[in-house]
Structure 1
Amino acid sequence: MQNEAYNILNNRLTIRISQSFMSFAVINQASTVGIEYEPYAVKNGISIAANLREAFNESALLGMGFIKVQVMIDTPVLLVPIEEFDESQKELLYSHAFTRLGNDIIIHTILPNENAVALFPLNKDLNMVINDHFNDIRIIPMMQSVWSYMHHRSFSGNRKKLYAYFHDHKVEVFCFKQNRFKFYNHYKIVTPYDASYFILYVWKQLGMDAQNDELHIFGSINEKEVLIEDLKKYLRGVYVINPEAEFNRAPITKIKGLPIDISILFLKGR
């Protein structure tokens, strides 16, 4: 890799971190796809912080000396209406909603278009590793770019839309009503029937119309045909969002294995 192609001082490296997967990406003007993308296999038996520490010795991108970073964290998110948010109470509020392991801090990020604040935990050791290597740091929930893009997308047409994003062995289900979240939750899944059950349960809970409303599914979907077949037994409008078609065949969509959340972040921003 040639450092000149990356603008080390000004470009912001993106690190995506989940429990089972890590990846690094940065704008690369010399690349035909516009970015450099590097997946990293997380080692079992050691913490995510230890994995990231080791990655600095093994990753070509991490070893280039970027000083700016944007970290996408895949941890459970609590959404709070923006008018009810009190920063001094965020630790207490999150602790009431989720079980905490005791070695984390609660980060918050404002979602102005959705009139919400996202609260999510960051492991203290992981935070230390990040601060040891970067000077300019942004930390966001992994779903932020997805929410923002799909919220904008939800205004097209008159039908209600439910979205289901598949990644990292789970599905994130959400929808909007005007400029607010109407529903958001995530579910761990093993089989496509698990996903179908949770999606249909949410659909029923929201009182959506099986004939007229729309379900949009996207992401890394195992046994996609089985899932679609099962969903179409109950819902008329089931649509699969294909990144290449969605983003007008943008070169970035040709990168094999690139999560859609990273595609959206680089193409549409946060």
Structure 2
Amino acid sequence: MNQNTTPIPPQPSKLYLRLSDSRICFARYEKRQQEPVFDFSLYHIQPQVSLHQNLRDAIGTEALLQAPIEETVVLVSTPITLMPLADFQEEDCNTIYNYCFPQQPGRIFYDIIPAANAVLMFSLNELICQDLEQCFTNVKYISAQTPMLRRFSTKGIHHQVQKRLFVYRHEKSIDVAIFEGSRLIMANSYTAINDDDVAYYVLNLVQQQSMDNGNSNIYVAGNPVLRENASNKLREFISNVYIIHPSADFNRHPVAMHEHMPYDMMALLLD
């Protein structure tokens, strides 16, 4: 007896990879006519061995990595510096970044954020770049803050023209951005071990930017537990604090429904 079976769609040939101190996130995603093809895998780094060996072990064990890979996009979470798009000269990248971060040697990259009229510069350790390029095909790099800034530049803009502050809570740190309309005022990262640290940096920025504690909107994204705790702490001082729920933010897209997918990676895939 013949059985009708639905063929399994081939895996997308582009691999997305996000590095952090404790884990590597892998994803494949492709928007197709009927429904998107999406797969996600979380690999916990073994700290006793090198990154190169961790990548090799992941390639040998992760099912998601077994299909052919034609391009690899690496999401990089390292310090950034910004400059206006109108003033940007590619040949000045290394000089500017090294001046801002003399203790952050490595290969320097830049992303353009047209909606914010800004260029974002970042770097990644040269040995890490070499490890990635030895293990994967056609590697490209993008800052983890780039897809978020692209998304945040228009979020909440229809509600008000005053400044809006965004907090991304993750991995013992926060990424913070302030927009006025679509204009990017500032973006930075801070070490935040606990929620008191989050409140300290956010309240200082609110004061520096002359934002109104009673009327300014603060948006908090990130790991569900971390964003909830940070939001509760901020509400002790600021009235309008809103949690960004990925399922609502991305209209219940399958990518946004995955509980372990970092928000910056969602924003990259669904941009």
TM-score, structure 1 as length reference: 0.87
Name the residue aligned to 1:166: 169
Q: Between 140-149 and 226-235, report the one with greater CA deviation.
A: 226-235
Q: State the match for 2:62 in structure 1.
A: 59
What 5-or-longer segments of structure 1 have no aligned partner? none
Q: Does 1:155 align with 2:157?
A: yes
1:41 paired with 2:44, answer: yes
Q: Structure 1 CA distance, aligned partners of 2:159 and 2:133?
A: 44
Question: Which residue matches 2:248?
Answer: 245
User: What secondary structure is seen at the aligned counterpart in 1 of 2:66?
Assistant: helix
Classify 1:129/1:63 alpha carbon distance in 2 versus 1 (closer, same or farther; 3 Å). farther
AA aligned to 1:18 is S
Which of residues 23, 43, 48 in structure 1 aligns to 2:25?
Answer: 23
Q: CA deviation at 1:224?
A: 5.0
2:236 equivalent in structure 1: 233
Q: How big is the shift at 1:14?
A: 0.4
> 1:44-68, CA deviations, whole angstroms, 9 ceiling, x for partnerless residues?
1444444324322332222323021
Residues 1:46 and 1:87: Cα distance change in structure 2 (over 3 Å): farther
CA distance in structure 2 between the aligned counterparts of 1:133 and 1:67, rounded to whole angstroms: 12
Distance 1:43 1:114, change over 3 A: same
**2:216 corresponds to:** 213
- Does the CA contact (< 8 Å) of 2:27 and 2:38 recur in 1? yes
User: Which residue of the partner structure matches residue 9 of structure 2?
Assistant: 5
Q: Which residue is equivalent to 2:79?
A: 76
1:144-178 alpha-carbon deviations (Å, 9 max, x no partner): 11111111214221143110011222111101234
Amino acid at match of 2:193: V
Give the distance between the partners of 2:72 and 2:221, measured in 1 at CA.
27
CA contact 1:176–1:182 (8 Å) conserved in 2: yes
Q: Name whichever of 247-256 and 64-73 sits farther off.
A: 247-256
Kept in 1: contact 2:111–2:146 (CA 8 A): no
Whole-angstrom CA distance in 2 between matches of 1:245 and 1:50? 38
Deviation at residue 41 of structure 1 after TM alignment: 0.7
Aligned to 1:266: 269
1:165-221 Cα offsets, whole Å, 9 max, x none, are 112221111012344320111111111111111111111111101111100111115
Distance 1:264 1:123 in 2: 24
Greater displacement, 249-258 / 219-228: 219-228
Deviates more, 1:220-229 or 1:88-97: 220-229
SS at match of 1:64: coil
Q: Which of 58, 81, 88 is 2:91 aligned to?
A: 88
Matches within 5 A, 1:111-190: 111-158=113-160, 159-190=162-193
Instruction: Give secondary structure in 1 for the equivalent of 2:111.
Output: strand
Name the Cα RMSD after superposition.
2.4
Find the residue that maps to 1:193 and give its secondary structure.
helix
CA contact (8 A) 1:20 1:168 kept: no
* 2:247 and 2:257 in contact (8 A); partners too: yes
Deviations along 1:70-126, one digit per CA (max 9) or x if unpaired, are 111111111121222222221121111113354x21111222221111111122222
Identity %: 26
Aligned residue pair count: 262
Q: Take 1:121 and 1:143, find their aligned partners in 2: how far apart are those partners?
A: 12
* CA distance in structure 1 between the partners assigned to 2:159 and 2:227 by the alignment: 25
Q: SS at the partner of 1:131?
A: helix
